Chains A and B, each alone.
Chain A
Amino acid sequence: MSLFQVEGLVKRFGGLLATDHVSLTVEAGQVHALIGPNGAGKTTLVNQISGLLAPDAGRVLLDGHDLTGLPVHRRVAAGLSRCFQVTRIFPKQSVLDNLRLAAQAHDGSSLRCWAPRWRETGLTDTAVALAERVGLQQQLDRTAGTLPHGAQRALDVALALAARPKLLLLDEPMAGMGPDESERMVRLIEQLRADMAILLIEHDMDAVFRLADRISVLVYGKVLMAGTPDQVRNDPQVQAVYLGTESLEAA
């Protein structure tokens, strides 16, 4: 059985079928990329997987546990963590404080209301380790909002890593990045795949074809096809969807 399974997810908004019986699997240590034109319903799908949106039908399974119907924070506890398409960090706080906040979520109850938090060195240690993982260890005391875009995305990833996830959901991590920053993010994802399964939503085809073990193509809410990068690259339907073959041949 796969580490992560989505079975027949369906979501309707009024008359619009945004998610049309989508199924996919991700194995441990694998990067599964989800690609498709704009408006295909990728973010809607991701929101259903992470728990922000309730599907009308279908199941989400992680490591044998049925996550369907669970609230977001329970899914995180079960090992499913996500990054957002639009960076969601705490811009007014320092990088260290951002990471300590993430660390706190997985280190005992947040209902403790007596002990002063500044005494908890354990949180700081975890936070520093997270920063090292993504290469932000020099930026710990910088205000998060002043970081360059690429570093903010890296922080976003670090926040998601605090949950020690089994499955990491990356929603367009390369969005808005120049070539250098993209390169660094790709290297980071390559590092991470050793420890967790990754579901990657991306438009950047270079990155997708470098990283993915499997690719699913989502069009109008439906999985058009799924397969290895070579299979996807050579599939005529997929080529037609992307209006010509230039973008795929370049990869």
Chain B
Amino acid sequence: MNTLTSPAPGGAALAAVPAAPPARAWWLPLVLLLVLAALPTLAQAAGLEFYIGLVRRILLFALAAASLNFLIGDGGMIALGHAGFIGTGAYTVVALTDFGVQSAWPIWAAAMAVSALAAVAIGAISLRTRGVYFIMITLAFAQMLYYVCMTQRQWGGEDGYTLPMRPQLGFGLDAQNEAVMYQVVLALVAVAWGLLDRLRGSRFGVAVMGIRDNDVRMQALGYPVYRLRLVAFAIAGALAGLSGALLATCNSFVSPSMMHWTESAMLIVMVILGGLGQRWGGPVGALVWLGLAETLRQFTEHWQMPLGVLLVAVALYAPAGLATFRLPRRGGAA
């Protein structure tokens, strides 16, 4: 009889862990969605239309940060070139608009596809490296994309490209209307984040987190580690591409600076501030960072300095990030 531990009196094994999901405030995302959906109406009533554009921007960076959080926090792949995929999404919009495509939905879908493909290509090579070399190679690829776009004169090169007007939404929606665009962005970001959230609780999400914790053991267990990492990389790239495409659409302006490594570093900062690997890490980080930047901007043109001080302070005193002080979470993600 196997007795590494003393037998229970009844002899039967107990599945001591209930098979239910970790209890969460399931209603929170819905409440948040409703509040955000009501924002344009409230803002317009208060004469604060400016906030529609600001919150919209925060939503888009929340998506990009969430995708990076999945990559770094859940997957353990520290990629310092994520802004490159925001760029591929944005420049797909430029390319297709330049080519004459007018409908928004195929443009955005194409942006996601192009970004996913770029991520597969970049990931296929980068994921063969580890540690600091992986960081450097992902950085290198993003910088290459940056320089490629700098040299594309038909897309404005260094000066950037101004979209003559926003692509059409159809369904009787006016893309030029800020509030309408806001609701479209909110809907897309909500759906994308919801899908990502669901993915984190699925087999794939659990496998990715296992790979983060011990990739050698996962290999020895029989998981196709490289393939799973590549798929995660592609998903993160596609979501960042969507974010970039929507940013391009809303701003009607795209420039290579969106892909500069400092933008990638800023995304990492958002993720760490918000809480690495935390469910809401990306959105919280984007909100804190962009919210603070915007607030400080009202007071001084040198708003970067206090933010810099904040980062140093957080790094030294609260490196687990800010989302850890939020909702109580039970156990891991599955």
Contacts and interface: CB of A to CB of B under 8 A. Distances in A.
Nearest to B196: A113
A135 B207 contact: no
A113 B16 CA distance: 26
A112 B204 contact: yes
Contact of A73 (B5, B16, B214, B223): B223
B4 A184 contact: yes
Given A141-B16, A184-B3, A159 B203 contact: no
A110 B223 contact: yes
Given A81-B220, A187-B2, A73 B225 contact: yes
Contacts, number: 155
Given A88-B214, A90-B213, A124-B15, A135 B4 contact: yes
A21 B223 CA distance: 30
Contact of B17 (A90, A94, A105): A94
B210 A90 contact: yes
A231 B152 CA distance: 76
Contact of A188 (B2, B222, B223, B228): B2
A193 B20 CA distance: 36
Contacts of B207: 101, 104, 110
Contacts of A106: 222
B122 to A, nearest CB: 20
A6 to B, nearest CB: 18
Nearest to A104: B203
Contacts of B309: none
Contact of A117 (B7, B17, B218, B334): B334
A77 B222 contact: yes
A242 B164 CA distance: 83
B26 to A, nearest CB: 12
A137 B14 contact: yes
Interface stretch (A126-134, A200-208, A209-217): A126-134
Contact of B217 (A89, A94, A112, A150): A89
Contact of A76 (B6, B16, B220, B332): B220
A59 to B, nearest CB: 21
B320 to A, nearest CB: 15
B220 to A, nearest CB: 6
- Counting contact residues on chain B (CB < 8 A from A), the size range is 35 or more
Interface in B208-256: 210, 213-214, 216-226, 228, 231
A114 interface: yes
A121 B21 CA distance: 12
Given A73-B223, A135-B5, A110 B213 contact: no
A132 B13 contact: yes
Contacts of B226: 71
Contact of A101 (B6, B221, B225, B228): B221
A139 B16 CA distance: 8
A121 to B, nearest CB: 6
A238 interface: no
A57 interface: no
Interface string A1-43: 0000000000000000000000000000000000000000000
A117 B202 contact: yes
Contacts of A77: 222
A118 B201 contact: yes
Interface in A68-86: 71-73, 76-77, 81-82, 84
A11 to B, nearest CB: 19
Contacts of A191: 2
B206 interface: yes
B327 interface: no
A136 interface: yes
Nearest to A140: B16
A102 interface: yes
Contact of B4 (A84, A134, A163): A134
Contacts of A133: 2
A224 interface: no
Contacts of B180: none
A170 interface: no
B76 interface: no
Contacts of B217: 84, 88-90, 159
Contacts of B204: 110-113
B34 interface: no
A118 B4 contact: no
B282 interface: no
B8 A73 contact: no
B8 A138 contact: yes
Interface string B178-218: 00000000000000000000110111111100100110111
Nearest 7 pairs between A and B by C-beta?
A: A76-B222, A137-B13, A135-B4, A141-B16, A135-B2, A105-B222, A113-B204
Given A104-B203, A117-B206, A118-B201, 17 more contacts: A72-B220, A76-B222, A93-B332, A101-B210, A110-B204, A110-B223, A114-B198, A114-B199, A124-B17, A131-B13, A135-B3, A137-B5, A138-B7, A138-B13, A138-B14, A154-B4, A159-B221
8 contacts: A71-B219, A73-B224, A93-B213, A102-B221, A112-B203, A114-B202, A117-B205, A136-B4
